Amino acid sequence: MNFETATAIAAQDMPVPYGARLLAGWYATGRPADLSDHLARYGPAPIDGAPGALADAVEQAGLTGRGGGAFPTGRKLRAVAGRRGPAVVVANGMESEPASRKDETLLDLAPHLVLDGAVLAASATGATVAHVCLPRTRADQAESLSRATEERHRAGLDPVEIRVHTLPHHFVSSEETALVSWLNGGGAHPRSTPPRPFEKGVGKRPTFIANVETLAHMALIARYGPGWFRELGSESAPGTTLVTLSGAVRHPGVYEIPMGGSARQALATAGGPTERLGAVLAGGFFGSWLPMPLDPVAQPRGAGVLVALPEDTCGLAETAGVLAYLGSQSARQCGPCMFGIPSVADDFAELAWGQPDTALLDRLNGRLGLLPGRGACRHPDGAARLATSALLAFGEEVVRHMQYGPCSRAGGPLRLPIPAGPPAAEEGWR
């Protein structure tokens, strides 16, 4: 939820909203939790325990990664703990998805839950250090988090060292191998695998990498158990998740909602649409367009993002803008990124704003078929998924654009939060 709305709720002494766990302290007090607030509410992290106890609890809870990949977290813990030698923990707070603010909000409001999770993961995997990675665009938050780690150190809370880093803020710099590359002294761009980070990551040591929200959930599971975690959500998708709701909704912001709910229910959490919608972008720039009317069971997905697009906006133009941005964010390490995504972006720009020739759709579909599974990372896959979903969701617009050229809505300003600035290659990776 945005800060203004949450402060108003706290001031009115309203009950904590249904589903609030990670943000419960914020709703109760109306202020970010410092260490004293955190310890008063939760106490110290329960670090001591039998070997494998945390992995067991996380596995039983059914916690999956909240960074977009949804990989089972317990399996990740076991993979690192089962390797030889001291491990490393990396908390991923890069949040390169432009339409997302959930990780930033969590680190602002409940930083010690994230740090507890990092320390617990270190204890469970035999790690001797935990790195917290943030983008350089959030330098103030990085300084605040560094002060929090120093305060914890003075209080003698953490048996491992916690280091806070700020990295170049490119779209692909949040990929886990990009974090490993940067922490190893290289550029913050993805690397080919194998080996995977759990095999040989930071300093060639087995490395556990998790999104900051995932770590915060781990901190609560360690305290309250898997049964408590499963009290919310569904059988196949237990627990809660943070989502960023924006676009044509009454109260844009970051919300915590039970897993397994529909996109329609999530939008209602933000007060519902403010105008008639044309589509909803689910999962951010690597996500998919959901056509209207919304399927009652369609769910938020990927990076926890829903953007409500008004009906008077051209979805093809919005997609073309996003694809141009994704093309500019290439690490320029492989053909699909260097040439494939820009070519698809050019085709979409022609479809949205030009006078497309009759061969455009065949050419575009052919290029989209060549992108998935061929890059050094998943950047081409995400771009192809977004473009393919746009052709399906805006099928009637595609036909009209092919026959008559740009629609009147295509000339307006884009509604999606597409960052401005030079290509990633011009800003550097180190």
Taking 50 as the threshold, does the pLDDT of residue 121 lie above it?
Answer: yes
- Between the two ends of the chain, the Cα-to-Cα distance in Å is 33
Please compute the mean of the pLDDT values over residues 85-102 and round it to a whole number. 96
**Tens digits of residue pLDDT in 375-426:** 778 899 999 999 999 999 999 999 999 999 999 999 889 999 999 877 877 7
CA distance 121 to 93: 16
> Which of the following CATH numbers is that of domain 17-229: 3.30.70.560, 3.40.50.11540, 3.30.2350.10, 3.60.70.12?
3.40.50.11540
Nearest CA to 58 among 39, 47, 38, 74? 74
**Tens digits of residue pLDDT in 6-22:** 433 444 344 567 789 99
The pLDDT, as a whole number, for residue 13 is 47
Q: Tell me the one-letter amino acid at 413.
A: P
**Tens digits of residue pLDDT in 197-235:** 999 999 999 999 999 999 999 999 999 999 999 999 999
The pLDDT, as a whole number, for residue 263 is 94
The pLDDT, as a whole number, for residue 16 is 67
Taking 90 as the threshold, does the pLDDT of residue 122 lie above it?
Answer: yes
The pLDDT, as a whole number, for residue 381 is 94
The pLDDT, as a whole number, for residue 333 is 85
- What CATH class has 315-414? mainly alpha
The pLDDT, as a whole number, for residue 4 is 46
The pLDDT, as a whole number, for residue 376 is 76
**Tens digits of residue pLDDT in 39-73:** 999 999 999 877 799 999 999 999 999 998 889 99
Taking 80 as the threshold, does the pLDDT of residue 293 lie above it?
Answer: yes
In which band, very low, low, confident or very high, does the pLDDT at 335 lie, cut at 50, 70 and 90? confident
Taking 70 as the threshold, does the pLDDT of residue 190 lie above it?
Answer: yes
Taking 70 as the threshold, does the pLDDT of residue 3 lie above it?
Answer: no
Please compute the mean of the pLDDT values over residues 164-188 and round it to a whole number. 95
Domain ranges in the chain are: 17-229, 315-414
**Tens digits of residue pLDDT in 340-365:** 999 999 999 999 999 999 999 999 99
Please compute the mean of the pLDDT values over residues 102-127 and round it to a whole number. 97
Q: How many CB atoms lie within 10 A of CB 412?
A: 11
The pLDDT, as a whole number, for residue 18 is 78
Q: How far is CA 41 from CA 22, 307, 419, in A?
A: 12, 34, 38
User: Is the CB of residue 163 less than 8 Å from the CB of residue 132?
Assistant: yes
Taking 60 as the threshold, does the pLDDT of residue 374 lie above it?
Answer: yes
**Tens digits of residue pLDDT in 230-276:** 999 999 999 999 999 999 999 999 999 999 999 999 999 999 999 99
Nearest CA to 185 among 170, 204, 211? 204
Q: Strand 288-291 to strand 277-282: parallel, antiparallel, or no bridges (unpaired)?
A: antiparallel
